[in-house]
Amino acid sequence: MGDDFDVIVVGAGMAGTSAAIRLAQGGANVLLLERGAEAGSKNLSGGVLWGNDLARILPNWATEMPVERHLVRKRFGFLTADSAVSFDFDDGAWRARPYVAHTVLRARTDAWLTKKAEEAGATVVTSVPVERLNWEGTRVHGVVQGGEKMTAPVTILADGTNSRLALGTPIRPEPRLSGESTELGIKEVYRLDAGRIEERFSVGPGEGHAEEWVAGLFPPGVMGGGFLYTNQDTLSVGLILSIPSLFGRGVYSHDLIEQFRQHPAIAARLKGAELVEYGAKLITGGWAGRPSAFSGDGWMVAGDAAGFVFSNGIVIQGMNYAVRSGLEAAETALAARSAGGATAARLAEYEQRLERTGILGDFRGFEAMDRVKWNPRIYTAYPKFAAELFRAMMTERGAPKEHLYRLARRAQVAAGLSMRSLAKDGFDLVRGL
């Protein structure tokens, strides 16, 4: 008997919906399964969507998809308990189409992308938490849900960062929630009138601002970064925290995000805003979070499920990789279908596509960053150094002025930074970047 579908895609996030749209456009009979009642309802994302990968399947996505604002400025900085040192990058080129990045809210974008998948001809079924892959020996032959099998020669796992379907199988024999590579992402959404957002963030209608901070304001040893992004009439606020750094310190994530929100540099912009959404999620991406292989007999893994989320403790990017890897998985399945069937050898072409499109290069290349990003000094000594230095430079005290070198040396001593650790961190950073 023939299979139920040509391809089954599990998970209607950015990776799964992109794959399903491309597959349906390519004439495949595709089933997209999502456990949430609506696509996007289970997704949590800080919300800066970079890149233009979606244009490959939806040329007008940037004007049709419900995006929030296009970025015109990014701010990066260091917070201590009572200071903020930051740098703005405000680019004229970012104001011109095609825009480089948009803030998005996943409940809206994923629902829209799912609708596009249906319009292209995919069968989309929500409220279906797939129980397991249908293993036949070493081959995956569709999925099992509610005791029933749904079969296809190719299954694409796009079930996100905690991909349960892969766990304990040859795809991912061991859990990847280990040590340093595990982070906690927390995100809150606050409603604020669009006019107020534009006034407080100095942006025009439709324009957006994103900022990311090294959070040097938490109890010693706690490592993490904070973000604040502007949406149309909401603000996304959140933290990315190193989970091991929270252990044994008696700290709670809700207190940390409260501390971040109440910092004077953040609080002024949130004044009067009303909390409308809260979520938390583990992040286990990067090269260390990759599966045993990206494809095998009857299966491919895309997006967060494959570990394609780049995080350096402050910035987090995953949606762009999810879209691109979902599209490459779809192209691989279409090519295998045209060539006569989805053999393991034909699906292995997926890894070559991941290489060609730069995804694997990015993660392999930044592996060293995985090791340096959770250096405790980045979250204690360096914010203090920045605060001390800029305080000395920016404050006129009616006393003789000192040269920058002397000010920097004094800030270095106040921050407890030895020349040795400066040299080591500088070297690690250059290698990591």
| Rounded alpha-carbon distances, angstroms, from residue 177 to 43, 164, 244 | 19, 12, 11
CA distance 64 to 422: 48
Nearer to ligand FAD, 23 or 49 (CB): 49
- Contact present, 70 and 208 (Cβ < 8 Å): yes
- In sequence order, the β-bridge partners of residue 31 are 8, 123
Q: Which of 44, 58, 111, 270 binds ligand FAD (CB under 6 A)?
A: 44
Nearer to ligand FAD, 215 or 387 (CB): 215
Nearer to ligand FAD, 69 or 377 (CB): 69
According to the binding rule CB under 6 A, does residue 25 interact with ligand FAD? Answer: no
Nearer to ligand FAD, 36 or 224 (CB): 36
CA distance 174 to 207: 44
The stretch near ligand FAD (CB under 6 A) out of 83-91, 245-253, 315-323, 353-361 is 315-323
According to the binding rule CB under 6 A, does residue 224 interact with ligand FAD? Answer: no
CA distance 103 to 227: 12
Nearer to ligand FAD, 153 or 185 (CB): 185
Largest CA distance in the chain: 89
- In sequence order, the β-bridge partners of residue 316 are 311
Nearer to ligand FAD, 49 or 273 (CB): 49
**Which of the residues 95 through 154 are near ligand FAD (CB under 6 A)?**
128-130
Question: In angstroms, what is the minimal distance from the CB of 208 to ligand FAD?
Answer: 12
CA 24 to chain centre: 26
**Total residues in contact with ligand FAD, by rule CB under 6 A:** 43
Nearer to ligand FAD, 83 or 103 (CB): 103
Q: Which of 83, 155, 230, 317 binds ligand FAD (CB under 6 A)?
A: 317
Question: Is 42 in a helix, a strand, or coil?
Answer: coil
CA nearest neighbour of 211 among 260, 284, 167, 271: 260
Question: In angstroms, what is the minimal distance from the CB of 41 to ligand FAD?
Answer: 8
- Residue carrying structure tokens 């766990």: 167
| Rounded alpha-carbon distances, angstroms, from residue 307 to 275, 290, 291, 302, 335 | 30, 5, 7, 8, 24
Question: In angstroms, what is the minimal distance from the CB of 18 to ligand FAD?
Answer: 8
CA distance 430 to 408: 21
The stretch near ligand FAD (CB under 6 A) out of 216-224, 302-310, 340-348, 384-392 is 302-310
Nearer to ligand FAD, 9 or 273 (CB): 9
CA distance 410 to 390: 11
- Continuous segment of H or E residues that includes residue 209: strand 207-215
CA distance 337 to 315: 38
The stretch near ligand FAD (CB under 6 A) out of 79-87, 213-221, 316-324, 336-344 is 316-324
Q: Which of 319, 334, 359, 415 binds ligand FAD (CB under 6 A)?
A: 319
Q: Which of 6, 188, 304, 331 binds ligand FAD (CB under 6 A)?
A: 304
Question: In angstroms, what is the minimal distance from the CB of 405 to ligand FAD?
Answer: 38
According to the binding rule CB under 6 A, does residue 6 interact with ligand FAD? Answer: no
CA distance 137 to 12: 27
The stretch near ligand FAD (CB under 6 A) out of 155-163, 198-206, 340-348, 416-424 is 155-163
Closest residue to ligand FAD in the complex (CB): 318
Q: Which of 107, 165, 214, 334 binds ligand FAD (CB under 6 A)?
A: 165
**Which of the residues 233 through 292 are near ligand FAD (CB under 6 A)?**
238, 281, 283
Q: Which of 216, 318, 383, 432 binds ligand FAD (CB under 6 A)?
A: 318
Nearer to ligand FAD, 210 or 415 (CB): 210
Cis previous bond, 400, omega within 30: no
- Contact present, 45 and 210 (Cβ < 8 Å): no
Q: Which of 25, 43, 182, 259 binds ligand FAD (CB under 6 A)?
A: 43
Give one DSSP letter per residue of 52-88, joined into a string.
Answer: SGGGGT-TTHHHHS---EEEEEEEEEEEETTEEEEEE
| Pairing label, strands 132-136, 7-10 | unpaired
- Contact present, 200 and 269 (Cβ < 8 Å): yes
Using CB atoms within 10 Å of the CB of residue 176, give its burial: 0 to 12 exposed, 13 to 18 middle, 19+ buried: buried
Nearer to ligand FAD, 16 or 425 (CB): 16
Residues that bind ligand FAD (CB under 6 A): 10-16, 33-36, 42-49, 128-130, 158-161, 164-165, 185, 187, 238, 281, 283, 303-305, 309, 316-320, 322
